[in-house]
Amino acid sequence: MKKKKIHLAFDLSWTTVETQWRLPDSWVDRHHPNIGMFEEVARTAERGGFDMIFFGDSTGIPDTWKGSIEDAVRHGVAWPRFEMSPWITKMSAVTSHLGFGLTYASTFMHPFYTARLLNSLDHITNGRIAFNVITSQRRADYANYGHDELPDHNERYDRLEESSTSAARCGAASTPMPSYGIAEPAPWRIRARSARSTTSANPSRSRGRSASFPRRKVSR
C-alpha cells in the first residue's frame, strides 16, 4: 500500500521570545525585517516541497506585563508587527507552488473586507492563499480595535462561524469564483447572546452588557 505522505509547512510568525538574533549567521540584517530574507525563506521552502509558509498574527504589541509595551519593544517580543499581505505578494513572485497562510481575527475584521482582500491575494498568487481565521483573545489586540473587553469565548466562536461562512462564500477558498461577488449579503452583525453562549466560563461578566461592543477612544 502506498504510504500516506506527511505535509510540512513553515510557521514564520513572530510570536515567541527570540534571542538568537545576536548569533552569527542570523537572518536579522542591518535593517529588519528585510524583504530579501522573506524571499530567501520562500525559495528555500519551495525547494523543500513545503505546502506553505504560515503567518500567525496578533496585531497588538504585548502590554499586559506591567501595563506597558516597554519591555516588549526592548526585548523584541512579538514586536515589530507587520501586516503580512504585501510581503506575501513579493514572496509569491519568486515562487510558483508554495502557499501562504495569513491570519485575521473574525472578532474584529469585517467579512466582506477580509474576503475581498483574500480573493485578490488568491488571484495574484494563482490560488496559493490559506486564511487562518482566529477569534483572538489578547487584550493588546482588542484594544487596538477600540474595545474595552472581549465578547466571551463562545460568542467569539459563534461569530467566527458565521463570518467565515460568508467569507468562504465570497471567495477565500481557492476554487474558481466570480471575482468579488458576494453570493448573498454577509450576515455580519453582533449576535444577541444565543442559548449556547450561556455556558460561558464567566457569566457574571456578561450580565447586563449590551450585545454590541463597548467603544472607547484608543489612547495609544
Partner 1 sequence: VIIQAGGSPRGTRAAAHVADHVFGLTKSIPLMVQQRTDLDKALLDEGRDPDTVGIFWSSRVMVGETESEAHAMRESMIADVPLEAVGVWLSHNTGYDMSQLPPRFSLAELQQRIVAANASPVGFVHLLAKKYGDHAEITREEFFEHGLHAATGYHITFAGTASQLADRMEEMFEATGSRGGFMLSISQAASRQVLQNTVNYLVPELQRRERYRTSYEGKTLRENMLA
As given in the structure block, the three cell numbers for residue 143 are 484594544
84 scored as a contact of partner 1 (CB under 8 A): no
Site string for partner 1, 91-130 (x = CB under 8 A): ------x-xxx------------------------xxxxx
Report whether 190 contacts 160 (CB < 8 A).
no
Residue with cell 515562487: 95
Residues paired with 53 in a beta bridge = 10, 100
**Residue 211 to residues 58, 151, 158, 207, Cα–Cα distance (Å):** 24, 9, 13, 10
Stretch of 2-10, 177-185, 186-194, 209-217 lying at the interface with partner 1 (CB under 8 A): 2-10
Which one of the spans 26-34, 107-115, 183-191, 211-219 is the region binding partner 1 (CB under 8 A)? 26-34
Between 11 and 83, CB nearer to partner 1:
11
Among the listed ranges 4-12, 107-115, 185-193, 211-219, the one in contact with partner 1 (CB under 8 A) is 4-12
Contacting partner 1 within 42-71 (CB under 8 A): 44-45, 47-49, 51-52, 54, 60, 62-67, 71
Residue 165, interface with partner 1 (CB under 8 A)?
Answer: yes
Q: Put residue 146 in one of left, alpha, beta given phi > 0 → left and psi -120 to 50 → alpha.
A: left
Asked whether 134 and 55 are in contact (CB, 8 A), the reply is no
